[in-house]
Structure 1
Amino acid sequence: MGRQDPALDTLLLPFAGGHLQWPPGEVLFLRARAGAALMPLPRERLVCEQSFRPEADALWRDGFRVREDGEDGGTRHPLVLLLPPRQRDEARALYAQALSRATDGGTVVVSLANDAGARTGEADLARIAGPVTSLSKHKCRVFWTRSGQAGGDAALAAQWGVLDAPRPVAGGRFLSRPGVFAWDRIDAASALLAAHLPPTLAGRGADLGTGYGYLADEVLRRCPGVSALDLYEAERRALDLARGNLAAHAGRVALGFHWHDVCAGLPNRYDFIVSNPPFHGQGNAARPDIGRRFIEAAAQSLHPGGVLWLVANRQLPYEQALGTGFGTVRTVAQRDGFKVIEARAC
């Protein structure tokens, strides 16, 4: 609750200013985030959907209901709130979903920061919904419309509704979808780490921040001594993809899929850990503290003599965390702005 979230504050501006009224019945909040602005709202009538575990955890802590995306069985709502992501295909799919999950004549309210594409988002919603009303504050823009009004484009909305659907990437080797990290390619940093992994990795391991499963797949292809691999991923949309992408390995290796915030620590101990940790939050702001916390969690979860294989942008300041948590640390490779590090636990 302590952090600033101008987009969330602006989302509720039309209600505070009397432009909109909070309706009776259950309100749906897509990509919901916790914050002080939510606290006065009726918890029993607000249903939050959030696939990013740290945000879901914050909502749970504040007493809000959080459920999996789309698990309401087709229920429609008189009011749908939305904080869209930056990725445009995913955002457009959410605009279409918000309209389809509102009752006829129901209200859809959206808020975006100006530097996150607020005007573009407003124009996108207007293309499929018809006339849109907007207000600006806190360097953000809130805009709203009504489902089923004249001037909307139902055919375009139907096209946009599947823009974030899973699809083949990397020559068909994986399924991925817009909004997932490096969704349409094999991430260059992860590929560099995979190329330097020793085939001697063995026993029980973990992949921290697994994404759609590329690095875990490389571990299982390259390291025949691996008997179990736990995949930790904060974004459930990515974890669901990883589950399918690694299904071919399930008969040989014990696989665990954990919708989990690594920054909260790990529940198990491991012989080895691999990771390409995130260094941004859900926005574009640099968050090297996330990578440092991944390193700390790895150090706390490795057996003595266990090893962490890590890739990171060369300029990221991880050396202190590595030096504090591990007995030996060596840089294995540096290329294209990335560094591959091997760190062995005491």
Structure 2
Amino acid sequence: MTATQADPALQALMLPFADGTLAWPGGGALFLRARDGWPLHEHALPGLVCEQGFRPDAEALQRSGFEPRAPDDARYPLVLLLPPRQRDEARALFAAALARRQPGGTIIASAANDAGAKSHEADLARIAGPLVSRSKHKCRVFWTRPGAAGGDAALAAQWRALDAPRPIAGGRFRSRPGVFAWDRIDPASALLAEHLPDDLRGHAADLGAGWGYLAAELLQRCPGITALDLYEAEARALELARVNLAPFAQRAALGFHWHDVTTGLPQRFDAIVSNPPFHAQGNAARPDIGRRFIAVAAEALKPGGRLWLVANRHLPYEAVLDASFGGTRLVAQRDGFKVVEAVKAGGASARAPR
């Protein structure tokens, strides 16, 4: 999202400062899950520290002069946040905001009405005490009252633990709330893994690797893979992938990259696997992201290199596949998903469409 695009939740978040209801503190402020947008540029915000783990949003903040930082233990007189849709993840973030607030400081949050705003407001009130609330731009903005008594510190401590990685899939992997398909193996990725051939070899990449399921399956099924690079835009997911791929550290050279695939790749590969996203951070469909993943994969593959892709059956990827590759074939369709193999033109290993 660029600084000029509409972001109603961010507009609502900054409204109490814009109209003078709240004063910006002299001691700076922390913005959790920060996003850039024009409301951040209407007035000076001295001492604003941003935390953002989603690479495209972090890069947008940097382009606007904000420097996203990794989480630390510093406390601030003001903590702002845009809670995520997933409730356990949001509760953990509210608890983190409480821990990062200075005594007597303010926590302020905003969410769209159709993204759980009322539930988020009720959750913050449970651990922080009475709130002030306003509705604007089809969103709710709500904040703590300085010095107000109330809240449940024990519950806040419990909620902080909701973000901790935990075993899933019978203990084979570790995951956490909020990352894609966090508590299960995504059926589309499982379908792709089921059809992966065992003759993929050389240097491979997983684009949009998530918490590492496809990468693990690729290494397990394809003994000829000697190196594998994982590209993932969400830092919380990439941390998990490092843990989940640790058993393969002696099996192949592994690389983990916090990276927005749509900006291109710096290396060339013999094989690529991908279950590309078709949403950004919101719910609106974004098939252009998947199309860009395909184009980037074609650019990054060596001649004769192979892309193995899974996607929702209805997504319009065929045109970019045909334009970007020497040959493509539909490998499987099931439960609303399709698996496609595409081969880069040229090279001795190139295959004809079947």
TM range (shorter): over 0.9
Residue 11 of structure 1: aligned partner: 13
SS of 2:6's equivalent in the other structure is coil
Aligned alpha-carbon RMSD (Å): 1.0
- Does the CA-based 8 Å contact 1:43-1:65 persist in structure 2? no
Q: Aligned residues: percent identity? A: 70
Taking the aligned partners of 2:147 and 2:236, their CA distance within structure 1 comes to 29
Taking the aligned partners of 1:245 and 1:211, their CA distance within structure 2 comes to 11
- Per-residue CA deviation, residues 123-157 of structure 1 (Å, 9 max, x unaligned), is 11111111010111111110000476311111111
Residue 200 of structure 1: aligned partner: 199
Aligned: 1:84 with 2:83: yes
SS of 1:191's equivalent in the other structure is helix
C-alpha displacement at 1:248, in angstroms?
A: 1.1
C-alpha displacement at 1:252, in angstroms?
A: 2.0
- TM-score, normalised to structure 2's length? 0.95
- Does the CA-based 8 Å contact 2:26-2:46 persist in structure 1? no
**Superposition pairs of residues 226-265 of structure 1, within 5 angstroms:** 226-265=225-264
Judged with a 3 Å threshold, the aligned counterparts in structure 2 of structure 1 residues 233 and 41 are, in CA distance, closer, same or farther, namely farther
**Superposition pairs of residues 42-191 of structure 1, within 5 angstroms:** 42=44, 45-68=47-70, 70-71=71-72, 74-146=73-145, 149-191=148-190
Q: Which runs of 4+ in 1 moved over 2 A?
A: 40-44, 146-149
- Does the CA-based 8 Å contact 2:12-2:139 persist in structure 1? yes
Residue 289 of structure 2: aligned partner: 290
SS of 1:161's equivalent in the other structure is helix
C-alpha displacement at 1:11, in angstroms?
A: 0.3
SS of 1:150's equivalent in the other structure is coil
Taking the aligned partners of 1:250 and 1:99, their CA distance within structure 2 comes to 38
- Per-residue CA deviation, residues 217-245 of structure 1 (Å, 9 max, x unaligned), is 00000000001000000000000100011
C-alpha displacement at 1:88, in angstroms?
A: 0.3
C-alpha displacement at 1:100, in angstroms?
A: 1.1
SS of 1:66's equivalent in the other structure is coil
Judged with a 3 Å threshold, the aligned counterparts in structure 2 of structure 1 residues 148 and 243 are, in CA distance, closer, same or farther, namely farther
**Structure 1 residues without counterparts, runs of 5 or longer:** none
- Does the CA-based 8 Å contact 2:208-2:231 persist in structure 1? yes
- TM-score, normalised to structure 1's length? 0.97
Residue 225 of structure 1: aligned partner: 224
SS of 1:186's equivalent in the other structure is coil
- Does the CA-based 8 Å contact 1:234-1:261 persist in structure 2? yes
- Per-residue CA deviation, residues 80-134 of structure 1 (Å, 9 max, x unaligned), is 0000110000000111111110001100000000100111111111111110101
Moved more, 107-116 or 43-52: 43-52
- Per-residue CA deviation, residues 155-185 of structure 1 (Å, 9 max, x unaligned), is 1111111111100000000010000100000
C-alpha displacement at 1:26, in angstroms?
A: 2.0
- Does the CA-based 8 Å contact 1:43-1:63 persist in structure 2? no
Residue 349 of structure 2: aligned partner: none
C-alpha displacement at 1:2, in angstroms?
A: 2.6
Judged with a 3 Å threshold, the aligned counterparts in structure 2 of structure 1 residues 251 and 22 are, in CA distance, closer, same or farther, namely same
- Does the CA-based 8 Å contact 1:46-1:65 persist in structure 2? no
Taking the aligned partners of 1:159 and 1:277, their CA distance within structure 2 comes to 34
Taking the aligned partners of 1:49 and 1:145, their CA distance within structure 2 comes to 20
Aligned length: 343
